[in-house]
Every structure is written in structure tokens, then in C-alpha cells.
Amino acid sequence: MGQPLFLIPELHNKIWGGTALGTFFDFKLASDHVGEAWVISAHPNGVDKIGNGQYNNQTLADVWHHHKELFGGSKAEKFPLLVKFLDAKEDLSIQVHPDDDYAKVHAHELGKTECWYILDAKPNAKIYFGHNAQTKTELATMIKNKAWDKLFREVPVKAGEFYYIPAGTVHALGAGVLALEVQQSSDTTYRIYDFDRVDQTTGKLRELHLADAINVINVPSKEQAVLPITEKIAANTKTLLADEKYFNVIKWDIEQQAQKFTQNPDTYTLAVIISGNGMLTIDNQRYELVKGQALILPSNVHEWTIDGGLTVVFSQPK
């Protein structure tokens, strides 16, 4: 009988982080600068442990390496995705991530294509998304001259919006934004501009990575519009947010009517509860679901049912 794998999140302090992950999700924070909760991760910079069942207290990385039968017999060396919550109390550094080819050579890991679902946004909140340079030469010149106002594009945001961010896209969350991020399992970031912030541990400005950034930034900018596709299924609502190269992302709003799900034995499903609470049923076994919780439905779970009043975001690797 298959069981879900409930993950214990890894929390990361960030210079731009705050306390919203504690108030929004009731995570237990050890500081007032928590910027990220890695809720489904086998990445070495923040490996989650499993908190239930047969694999209780084992890391997701270990279970991935030793029990590929739970993951559709995947041939991939590394667990392919990473899911996190981000609390931007202040602007993140304006940054870019490499694609697989560049990251393999220069960072010895996967590239980083990602996406954001905006969970909360204060009035007048924004993101940085794209740039205005038309050639690599113009890009390098604008960076050298610190022409930030001319270079970066700013987009106002509100809760419920979705953004797909392929590798090579200039981007950053702005202050006052809380987001769910689904991404390739990578932690390689090239900072372009960091608002001249000082790292309190060194007393120096935080490092920038301008040469690598210029190498990997898409020119001209290619922000990719993704239009959600919404379908009403009885009392519940299914929204396809993305079905792209590395993953799909599907949001389900479940309104007090039990919803049945199935998956093929050659895949597995990541799930995050972003609001409400409910119950998960697998083979007549019931599991409580609460806001902020993250889990994996391994490939030996062929069907499951969720009921209650909650919103769940599912993702599957490609």
C-alpha cells in the first residue's frame, strides 16, 4: 500500500527576509529574517527530511537514491525539482539563472527555470521581470554604467497571479511579496544588482556576478506569458498554471466536495497546501492536510481523494 511522503521544511535566513512565513503559514521561525522555506527539496544546500511512515526521518535525497521505485523508476541522478515559499520583506537582488548547459559547466548542477504563484502582495508591490537592452553590447554598457532605471522592467503584482521564468530571464521579487516557487533543483544565482546592501557577516557589499550574468541573460528579453486555463469540475476548480519543459503546475480549489485524483505508475506528484485545510485519503487511510504543508505522492500511490476546503498546488517533473 502506497503512502504519501510528508516533508519537513528547511528554513533559510536571507538579508531580505522577514517574518511572514511565520504569520502566513505558522512556521516556527528562529529569526526575523527568514526569506525562504524549502518545503520539497533534495538539494544539498537544504535537504528536507520525511516526517512520516516507513521513511520517517530519512532525507528526501537518500530516499530518492535508494528507492527509485517510488519515483517511477526515474533514471535522473538528482531529484529534479525544488519547491519553496519566499517572503520578500525587502527587494531581492535583481538576478538571473543559467540554463542546463551553462550550469553544468560553470556550477556543476542543473540550470534553473522557475515559476512564481503570488500568494500575497502588499499595496503597490511589484516584481522585476525582464530588461530593455536590445543587444549584448547594450546590456553590458547599461550594467557598467549602472543604468538600472533604464535597464530593468518593473511589473505591479497582486495575489493570485502566476509568472513563468525560464533560465536567462532577469527577475526579482519586490518588497511586500509572498510567493510559492516551483523550480528546477538548483541554487545557482547570478546577481546583477543588490541595492548596494552590506553583508553584515563581512561588512562588505554583497558579491555580484556580472560576467556570468551577462553571459546567460537572454537578449533581447523574452518574458513568456502563460495564460492559466481554468476548468470547473462540479464544485471544485482546476487551473492549469503551466505545462512547460521541466514541470507542470496545477492549482486545485476544493470546495467541500471530495475530489479524486489518479496518476500513472511512471510518475509522481508534488503537492503543497497554500490555503485552508482538509483530508487526504489513500486506500482508506486518512491524512490531515493543513496550510503550508508539502508532500509527495509517490508512484505507488495510484489514486487518492482530497476533501475539505483548501487550495492545493500540484506539480510533476517532465
Which residues define the annotated binding site for Zn(2+)? 97, 114, 171
Q: Is the pLDDT of residue 199 over 90?
A: no
Catalytic residues: 191
- Residues with Cβ within 8 Å of residue 67, at least 6 apart in sequence: 55
Examine the domain organization and report whether 168 and 273 are in the same domain: no
Our count of domains for the chain comes to 2
Domain assignment of residue 68, yes or no: yes
More confident position, 202 or 117: 117
Query: Do 196 and 299 fall into the same domain?
Result: no
Planar angle of CA 302, 305, 311, nearest 5 degrees = 120
Q: Are residues 199 and 270 in the same domain?
A: no
How far, in Å, CA of 99 to CA of 226, rounded?
Answer: 19
| pLDDT higher than 80, residue 1 | no
pLDDT of residue 165: 97
Sign of the Cα torsion 142, 143, 146, 151 reads positive
- Contacts for 290 with CB less than 8 Å, ≥ 6 apart: 273, 277
Domain extent at residue 259? 229-317
pLDDT digits (tens, 9 = 90+) for 239-288: 999 999 999 999 999 997 899 999 999 999 999 999 999 999 999 999 99
Of 308, 284, 307, 280, nearest to 296 by C-alpha is 280
Q: How do residues 83-92 score in pLDDT, each as one tens digit?
A: 999 999 999 9
Domain shared by 206 and 239, yes or no: no
Quick one: 71 and 200 in the same domain? yes
Q: Are strands 204-205 and 229-233 parallel, antiparallel or unpaired?
A: unpaired
Asked whether residue 68 falls in the same domain as residue 168, the answer is yes
Beta-bridged to residue 149, according to DSSP, are none
Euclidean distance between CA atoms 11 and 306, whole angstroms: 27
- 224 belongs to a structural domain: no
Residue 96 shares a structural domain with residue 211: yes
Query: For residue 269, how many other CB atoms are within 10 A of its CB?
Result: 20
CA dist., res. 282 & res. 2, Å (int): 8
Mean pLDDT (the chain) is 97
Q: Indicate whether 180 and 236 sit together in one domain.
A: no
Q: How confident is the model at residue 223 (pLDDT cuts 50, 70, 90)?
A: confident
Cis check for the bond before 156: say yes or no (omega within 30 of 0).
no
Domain boundary among 169, 195, 216: 216
Contact by Cβ (8 Å): 172, 95? yes
Q: From the CB of residue 282, how many other CB atoms can be counted at a distance below 10 Å?
A: 17
Reported as a pLDDT band with limits 50, 70 and 90, residue 226 is confident
In the chain, what percentage of residues exceed pLDDT 70? 100
pLDDT at residue 35 greater than cutoff 90: yes
Q: What is the DSSP letter of 206?
A: P
What pLDDT does 110 receive?
A: 98
How does DSSP classify residue 9? Answer: P
CATH code, 165: 2.60.120.10
Mean of pLDDT values over 127-144 = 98
pLDDT at 64 over 80: yes
What DSSP string runs through 172-204?
EEPTTEEEEEEEES----EEEE-TTPEETTTTE
With CA atoms as reference, report the closest residue to 14 among 190, 180, 208, 201: 201
Pairing label, strands 269-282, 303-317 = antiparallel
Q: How confident is the model at residue 200 (pLDDT cuts 50, 70, 90)?
A: confident
With a threshold of 0.85, does the pTM exceed it?
A: yes
